[in-house]
Amino acid sequence: MLIQTSMFGEMTIEENDIILFPEGIPGFLEEKQFVIIPISEESPFLVLQSITSKEVTFVMINPFLFYPNYDITLPESAVSLLRLKKPEEALVYSIVVVKQPLNQSTVNLQAPIIIHPSEKLGKQVVLNDPRYQVKTPLILPQRKVSNG
């Protein structure tokens, strides 16, 4: 099917790529169907795009790449809604407020986007964990030095 996106223009997606957010997400409760689009093969940034509203576009990262100590426990409401049997089944993303320059950007570590890929279900989970903030400064990952 064809969808309109603010970042990539018109694009073709497979029905099978659509992830259902049964509750929408806070602030966008009517938006229930999204696709995840990598920005490029090598970029750690992805886009969460509503398939019905072109302008509902979020930039996300895999938080574990940027914050290696990030460690969350999903509340039972999320495990139940997403039909997760094992925690490893979940994909975890964090929404980024992108600013220029990039190091002014912030990452929402308090409310990660959790996806159960095989069930095509998603939910933004609000953690009750005082370690994680809504506006966490984006810390750019250090690439490993290849020649030691």
- Kindly list the residues in this chain that would bind other proteins in the complex (CB under 8 A): 6-8, 25-28, 39-40, 43-45, 47, 55-59, 75-77, 80-81, 95-98, 100-103, 108, 110-111, 124, 126, 128, 134-135, 140-143, 145-146
What is the C-alpha separation between 93 and 91, in angstroms, rounded?
7
**Judging by DSSP bridges, how do beta strands 2-5 and 106-107 pair with one another?**
unpaired
> Dihedral angle at the C-alpha atoms of 62, 89, 33, 127, nearest 10 degrees?
-60
| Cβ-contact 43, 36 below 8 angstroms | no
Cβ 57 to other proteins shortest distance, Å: 5
Tell me whether residue 27 or residue 68 sits nearer to other proteins (CB atom): 27
Cβ 142 to other proteins shortest distance, Å: 5
